[in-house]
Amino acid sequence: MIEREGDKIRVLIGKAGLDGHDRGAKVIARACRDAGFEVVYTGLHQSPEMIVNTAIQEDVDVVGLSILSGAHNYLVPAIVKGLAEQGVKVGTDMLIVVGGIIPDT
């Protein structure tokens, strides 16, 4: 079991934007649970604000985003900005991991 200061690491798995494909996100959520993480799954069609609010409310350690729509150039900066506006230092207080279809730029 993975722990941090006596508590399980809390991971939010989010599907931001209009992408309706969630199989990969659900597989990752299950793998995280099986590895001992506590997982919060947001479901489909979450706005950046909804992801930020859930991450803050649930006091997660990691935000995992699954993006298959190609909107990562908008969604990820919006989430990072929203977390920063709430006083979260991304990379120190909370990690963000992004997967899916992320084209080379």
| CA distances for 14 relative to 11, 43, 50, angstroms | 10, 7, 9
Separation CA 12–CA 58 (nearest Å): 8
Q: Name the band, by pLDDT with cuts 50, 70 and 90, for residue 1.
A: very low
Closest CA to 7 of 75, 72, 61: 61
pLDDT in tens, 38-88: 999 999 999 999 999 999 999 999 999 999 888 889 999 999 999 999 999
Helix axes 72-85, 48-58, angle to 10 degrees: 40
Rounded to the nearest integer, the mean pLDDT of the chain is 92
Assign domain 3-100 to a CATH class.
alpha beta
Separation CA 33–CA 67 (nearest Å): 20
Read off the pTM.
0.90
